[in-house]
Amino acid sequence: MTSFEVSSFAKINWTLEILGRRADGYHELRTILQTIDVCDQLQFSATKSEIVLTCDHPDVPCDETNLIVRAAMLLKDLTGCDKGAKIDLQKRIPMGAGLGGGSSNAAIALLSLTKLWELDVSPHDLFRLGSQLGSDVPFFFFGGTGIGIGRGDEVYPMTDFQSPYLLLVNPGVHVPTREIYANLPSELTSSPAMNKMPFSLQAAYARMRRETWKLRNDLEYPALALYPLIGQIKQQLMTLQAIAVLMSGSGSTVFAIFESDVARTQAINSLGNSDWWCAATRTLSRDEYQAALAEVSDFGFRTLG
């Protein structure tokens, strides 16, 4: 196989809780992640030795600062592989938007280059490389609904949660993640994470099923304080009959949950005069996600924890 194309899907966070500051300086997280059907496209072609990345979006760097290139270099370092690749990225997921576009790209690059270069790399080695690239990267090896704890990179598959009528709205504001974490309220960061109550994955999911739309994102408070436009979008979506509205990740994308396609379409039409990026989407189950990656992933990530 010398050339192929793979979809690189986005995610939203149903919940994101900050449980204190860890001894290593990071924040202890508890987050429930969800793949959705908005995606970038990545084209991989074999070359002799160089890694060449191109992109149709002028603001995307194509050098060593891009997670795709970094993923390729980590994989070459791990395996001693001297092969190369030409990678073309068609960017559809907004940048700096809390949708995990860069992390998804990195995970897809690791899987695809392992296949392209015919490497013998275990799932655990790929998880380790993914964790080095970003806390969300391991989640994109299996998709569907999953829970992230620790720094967010310790990820476990959960029973898929379905929501067919989602709407994403992004105002075009690039939100620096470091800036958001630096402005967290002191009550979320002053307590050491080790003093927090033990966490039960089963109890968390049972609670989510009972209280379906009681979503939470502890990063919203600093994000809305620094970027009031995000709060304005939330308020407007609620007036458009959304069941619930939440900022995803560290922002700036807001997702809204609707009861029907008719209600969602009416909301899109009402937002038609704005300059905001809007996308109708839905949740993507683990089976659907794995089927989309079948050409490059045969590791059985469904059960890896």
Residue 92 maps to a domain: yes
Catalytic residue among 40, 76, 83, 136: 136
CATH code, 44? 3.30.230.10
Token readout for 299 is 């590791």
Burial class (CB in 10 A: 0-12, 13-18, 19+), 230: buried
Residue 204 maps to a domain: yes
Is residue 136 among the annotated active site residues?
A: yes
Cα Dmax for the chain: 56
Is residue 261 among the annotated active site residues?
A: no
Domain enclosing residue 272, as ranges: 1-296
Catalytic residue among 11, 83, 91, 234: 11
Count of structural domains, the chain = 1
Answer with the residue of higher pLDDT: 59 or 210.
59
Residue 304 maps to a domain: no
Antiparallel, parallel or unpaired: β 216-217 and 3-21: parallel
For the stretch 55-66, pLDDT in tens is 999 999 999 999
Residue 258 maps to a domain: yes
Residue 107 maps to a domain: yes
Residues β-bridged to residue 7: 41
Answer with the residue of higher pLDDT: 194 or 57.
57
Cα 168 to Cα 154: distance, rounded to the nearest angstrom: 26
Q: What is the DSSP string of 251-286?
A: SS-EEEE-SSHHHHHHHHHHTTTS--EEEEE-B--H
Cα 116 to Cα 134: distance, rounded to the nearest angstrom: 23
Q: Which residues, including other chains, have CB under 8 Å from residue 42's CB and lie 6 or more apart?
A: 5, 6, 7, 8, 68, 87, 88, 89, 90, 105, 108, 109, 112
Out of 11-25, 77-91, 119-133, least confident range: 11-25
Residue 302 maps to a domain: no
For the stretch 99-149, pLDDT in tens is 999 999 999 999 999 999 999 999 999 999 999 999 999 999 999 999 998
Query: What ranges in 65-219 are assigned the alpha helix state H?
Result: 67-79, 101-116, 123-133, 177-182, 186-189, 201-210
Instruction: Report the candidate in 212, 204, 216 with the shortest Cα–Cα distance to residue 249.
Output: 216
Residue 305 maps to a domain: no
Residue 40 maps to a domain: yes
Question: For the whole prediction, is pTM greater than 0.85?
Answer: yes
